[in-house]
Amino acid sequence: MRFPSNISQLERDFDAVLLDSRDGDGTGLLTSIRVTRHTFIFKDGSRLLVTEELSGGLIEVSYYNWVNQDGQDILKFHSESHDGDSRYQTATEPHHIHPPAQSTLTNRTRFPNFHHQELPAIMEHIFLALLAQKKV
């Protein structure tokens, strides 16, 4: 378990690529005592939808969904466990990455996630991707 993300710090750290930042994760629900919900909107129009389910003040399960301006998946960084079915487990269980649903490169639906398990690392990944694509 990890501490919930510091949203204001992330807004400051990644201001160069952020267009907007708001409460809520796209479900219509807002942050509560049990769930942190937030949306970061990037200058290229893509969004990071953040959902952190909390237990005892720590993140129990996280869903960080990076979507393009049309709402299509780019990457999803999840931490829900699939310990009941070994077919869905990765080497980094419970952390894993889902590729875009429209991806034709592979029929795998989950990949190991060794390094992008916390929101600051995911934000840095998006920052670098936008920088490399010259979108900032």
DSSP assignment of 40-84:
EEETTS-EEEEEEEEETTEEEEEEEEEE-TTS-EEEEEE----TT
Give the pLDDT of residue 124.
97
Q: 11: part of which helix (H) or strand (E)? A: helix 7-13
* Domains contained in the chain, number: 1
Give the pLDDT of residue 110.
84
Q: Kindly state whether residue 49 falls inside one of the protein's structural domains.
A: yes
Give the pLDDT of residue 106.
58
Q: 37: part of which helix (H) or strand (E)? A: strand 35-42
Q: Kindly state whether residue 58 falls inside one of the protein's structural domains.
A: yes
Residue located via tokens 């990644």: 14
What percent of the chain shows pLDDT beyond 70? 96
Which residues in the chain come in under a pLDDT of 70? 103-108
Give the pLDDT of residue 105.
57
Give the pLDDT of residue 13.
97
Q: Kindly state whether residue 111 falls inside one of the protein's structural domains.
A: yes
Q: Kindly state whether residue 1 falls inside one of the protein's structural domains.
A: no
- Cα–Cα dist 122/19, whole Å: 17
Q: Kindly state whether residue 118 falls inside one of the protein's structural domains.
A: yes
8-state DSSP, 132: H
Domain that includes residue 61, residue range: 7-132
Q: Kindly state whether residue 2 falls inside one of the protein's structural domains.
A: no
